[in-house]
Structure 1
């Protein structure tokens, strides 16, 4: 039997976010959590990015790095949720990078910007 505070879908009444939402952060998640087997170095981007993308897909967070989940306006009720998720993903990405790469992306405004900058850097290196 479902309690009075919880609906049959598993959502608590008055809860801020659905656990299936990309904005949901699980209580066991934290920014400095390593989720890939190897740290990103200049010569391991392809393997690293595939492994990181698999992890982000499993966490329902790919939309943050591919840009499909756009940053809401500052006055939107979703703004703080988006900012929290983006900050969490920034931590996941940067903890899995060697220091020089991490330093080159630490001032990015979003995870999308980090991901995009890394892809451009790798593309430019392959062209030279």
Structure 2
């Protein structure tokens, strides 16, 4: 037990420590995130980085990387874990193209959604590698400054 476990200012109404990744703030809701980019077939890298930043700020990255595994049904925190995972799934799907949502909506956990997206869109997928190579070979300077052109190439 830590000092924070006894500090009422660190707990929500249910007694859960606000530093716990299982804590959901009263202002959190599934459609809360407003991403710069909706996940489409060709925006995965930017989208995933934005989602990781958002989830890190909410202390919920463990729900997508598997470091906060699903609790057993007999666990005292099972319902709390399920509620948090549902919130993370809501955050993920809110900023996805409709066709992509359809392909992940039956995933049991946020971690399964995340790993499925990584497998489908991640750097190591052959279609993505082909797309990046094609973009690099067709990219032109078009009168842009050297720094602007370099920034564009690095972004690709």
Q: TM-score, normalised by structure 1?
A: 0.87
Aligned-residue offset at 1:42: 0.6
Give unpaired runs (5+ residues) of structure 1.
1-6
Matched, 1:120 2:119: yes
Kindly tell me: are residues 26 and 100 of structure 1, through their superposed partners in 2, closer, same or farther at Cα, counting changes over 3 Å? same
Partner Cα separation in structure 2 for residue 22 and residue 107 of structure 1: 24
Give unpaired runs (5+ residues) of structure 2.
1-5, 131-156
Kindly tell me: are residues 48 and 81 of structure 1, through their superposed partners in 2, closer, same or farther at Cα, counting changes over 3 Å? same
Matched, 1:105 2:116: no
Kindly tell me: are residues 63 and 103 of structure 1, through their superposed partners in 2, closer, same or farther at Cα, counting changes over 3 Å? same
* Contact 2:11-2:17 at 8 Å conserved across structures: no
Partner Cα separation in structure 1 for residue 106 and residue 13 of structure 2: 36
Which stretch of the first structure deviates more once superposed, 29-38 or 10-19?
A: 10-19
Question: Of the two structures, which has the highest relative contact order with CA contacts closer than 8 Å and spacing of 6 or more?
Answer: 1
Partner Cα separation in structure 1 for residue 33 and residue 108 of structure 2: 21
* Contact 2:10-2:19 at 8 Å conserved across structures: no
Residue 30 of structure 1 corresponds to 29
Which structure dedicates a bigger proportion of its chain to helix? 2
Partner Cα separation in structure 2 for residue 76 and residue 102 of structure 1: 30
* Contact 1:35-1:52 at 8 Å conserved across structures: no
Partner Cα separation in structure 1 for residue 72 and residue 58 of structure 2: 24
CA-atom RMSD, angstroms? 1.9
Residue 4 of structure 1 corresponds to none
Kindly tell me: are residues 23 and 104 of structure 1, through their superposed partners in 2, closer, same or farther at Cα, counting changes over 3 Å? same
Larger of the two Rg values belongs to structure: 2
Partner Cα separation in structure 2 for residue 78 and residue 49 of structure 1: 28
Aligned-residue offset at 1:122: 1.1
Aligned-residue offset at 1:13: 9.5
